């Protein structure tokens, strides 16, 4: 494997593992320095590779190392399985975690991709990326991921692709009634050889005009933990268009790279404490990986007609304000649309759920910078004196004024 040539400093108390890692990095590596401990890590290296035996004891030093130089890529090598400790390591500032010494080379390659990606979000590229992310399943995320791309395509006329990265298994193929020839796992396996031609060959075209890149098959699921998705995203955003990625609730390397690059992260929630209660944790996690609050959009989905036990004041406190968007209970419309092999926005275009999703789509267009309009807080949130219908009309009017190709 050919690596990007940057300076690497490596410390590891386990001599046998250290030797194994050096053998793995010996071919075409950058300058590798062996240091005795984290405290002797030179400040001018691009990558700090830290092997530890006792992760809990090492956390304070890892945090110090990350704070000493925040732009340095900090890789942790630890052969443990405690997920709580791994999350604590990420909070301490670790950028990548390797649990198998044989995969250190892959981690270095991911760092190369990350550095090459740089600040490639927003206005630096023609296309835009929207991620749908939640720490909890069963909140109507797949319904959102199947319908939002269609409504975005209708509102903008731009090429729109939805990528299914939901683990353990995505089901957007069922929602869209498609059978794509290849999956996202197949493309991730291609690594840096991914280009626009290869990506296009893996897409399935939907009758609405959008394209689907299917979720990983069981045999390729592991690819999401080993490769960045940036080569795929780059290929799809080199020209104007929209990419919507269903990330699911499990974060592997591929999903993390999407969060890094996303122009907007939608977090669907249901009004139950088991779901709403995850919002502060999700916001904290995203802040710790460098995602500002301005790129986060919570959406309240009334995915069940009963059991809405969270009082409005508690809901506002946990979300961080009143929810800008609420999706009504879809009821039998969703079941009927699934049986018909169509997303609900196609099968029931006049339903309250479709109308609410369209309002959300129009704000997404603005939030990702595809419309020359600034929505004020008053336009986005109904005042106490306004009823719901008046607020919706105002929002539609404000967005319609600034969005090119918005269809009435």
CA angle, corner 215, sides to 141 and 88, nearest 5? 70
More confident residue, 77 or 24: 77
307-347: pLDDT as tens digits = 556 788 888 888 888 888 888 888 788 878 877 778 989 88
Q: Picking from 40-54, 233-247, 314-328, 373-387, which range would have the lowest pLDDT averaged per residue?
A: 373-387
More confident residue, 383 or 29: 29
More confident residue, 227 or 209: 209
For residue 287, pLDDT over 60 is answered with yes
Separation between Cα atoms, residue 394 and residue 210, nearest integer Å: 28
Q: Picking from 113-117, 148-152, 207-211, which range would have the lowest pLDDT averaged per residue?
A: 113-117
Distance of CA 226 to the CA centre of its chain: 16
Mean pLDDT of 373-381: 37
Categorize the per-residue pLDDT at 24 as very low, low, confident or very high, splitting at 50, 70 and 90.
Answer: low
Kindly write down the DSSP assignment for every residue of 194-239, as one continuous string.
Answer: --HHHHHHH-EE-TTS-EEEBPPPGGGGGGGGTS-SHHHHHHHHSS
Separation between Cα atoms, residue 193 and residue 330, nearest integer Å: 42
Instruction: Let me know: does 232 contact 262? Beta carbons within 8 Å.
Output: no
Residue spans per domain, the chain: 8-117, 122-369
Q: Which CATH architecture has domain 8-117?
A: 3-Layer(aba) Sandwich (3.40)
For residue 6, pLDDT over 90 is answered with no
pLDDT of residue 182: 86
Scored b (16 or more CB within 10 A) or e, 377-396 reads eebbebeeeeeeeebeebbb
Q: Classify residue 2 by its DSSP letter.
A: P
Torsion of the alpha carbons at 32, 16, 74 and 5, rounded to the nearest 10 = 30
68-109: pLDDT as tens digits = 887 788 889 998 888 778 878 888 888 778 888 887 877 776
Domain covering 122-369, topology: Rossmann fold (3.40.50)
pLDDT of residue 246: 92
pLDDT of residue 46: 78
pLDDT of residue 380: 42
Neighbours of 90 (CB within 10 A): 18
Question: Coil, strand or helix: which one is 362?
Answer: helix
The two domains 8-117 and 122-369 share their CATH topology (first three levels equal): yes
pLDDT of residue 190: 80
pLDDT of residue 338: 79
For residue 113, pLDDT over 80 is answered with no
Cut 0.75: pTM above it: no
Categorize the per-residue pLDDT at 147 as very low, low, confident or very high, splitting at 50, 70 and 90.
Answer: very high
């Amino acid at each position: 494997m050919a690596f990007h040539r940057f300076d690497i400093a490596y410390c590891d108390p386990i001599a046998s593992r250290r030797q194994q890692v050096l053998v793995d990095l010996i071919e075409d590596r950058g300058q590798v320095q062996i240091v005795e401990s984290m405290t002797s890590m030179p400040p001018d290296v691009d990558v700090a590779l830290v092997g530890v035996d006792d992760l809990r004891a090492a956390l304070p030093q890892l945090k110090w190392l990350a704070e000493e130089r925040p732009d340095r890529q900090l890789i942790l090598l630890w052969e443990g399985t405690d997920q709580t400790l791994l999350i604590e390591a990420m909070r301490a500032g670790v950028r990548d975690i390797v649990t198998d010494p044989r995969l250190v080379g892959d981690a270095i390659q991911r760092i190369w991709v990350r550095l090459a990606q740089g600040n490639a979000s927003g206005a630096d590229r023609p296309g835009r990326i929207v991620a749908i992310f939640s720490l909890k399943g069963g909140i109507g995320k797949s319904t959102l991921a199947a319908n939002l791309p269609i409504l975005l395509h209708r509102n903008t006329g731009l090429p729109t692709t939805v990528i299914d990265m939901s683990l353990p298994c995505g089901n957007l193929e069922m929602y869209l009634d498609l059978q794509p020839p290849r999956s996202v796992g197949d493309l991730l396996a291609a690594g840096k050889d991914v280009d626009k031609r290869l990506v296009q060959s893996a897409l399935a075209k939907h009758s609405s005009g959008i394209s689907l890149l299917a979720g990983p098959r069981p045999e390729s699921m592991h690819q999401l933990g080993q490769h960045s998705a940036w080569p795929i995203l780059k290929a799809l955003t080199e020209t104007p268009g929209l990419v919507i990625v269903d990330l699911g609730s499990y974060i592997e390397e591929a999903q993390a790279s999407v969060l890094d690059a996303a122009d907007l992260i939608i977090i669907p929630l249901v009004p139950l404490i088991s779901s709403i209660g995850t919002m502060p944790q999700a916001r904290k996690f995203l802040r710790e990986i460098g995602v500002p609050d301005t790129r986060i959009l919570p959406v309240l989905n009334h995915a069940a007609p009963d059991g809405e036990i969270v009082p409005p004041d508690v809901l506002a406190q946990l979300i961080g304000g009143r929810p800008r968007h609420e999706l009504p209970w879809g009821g039998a419309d969703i079941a009927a649309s699934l049986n018909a092999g169509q997303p609900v926005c196609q099968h029931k275009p006049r339903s309250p759920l479709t109308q609410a999703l369209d309002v959300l789509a129009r704000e997404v267009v603005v939030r990702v910078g595809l419309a020359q309009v600034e929505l004020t807080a008053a336009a986005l949130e109904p005042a106490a004196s306004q009823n719901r219908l008046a607020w919706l009309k105002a929002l539609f009017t404000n967005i319609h004024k600034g969005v090119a190709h918005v269809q009435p």
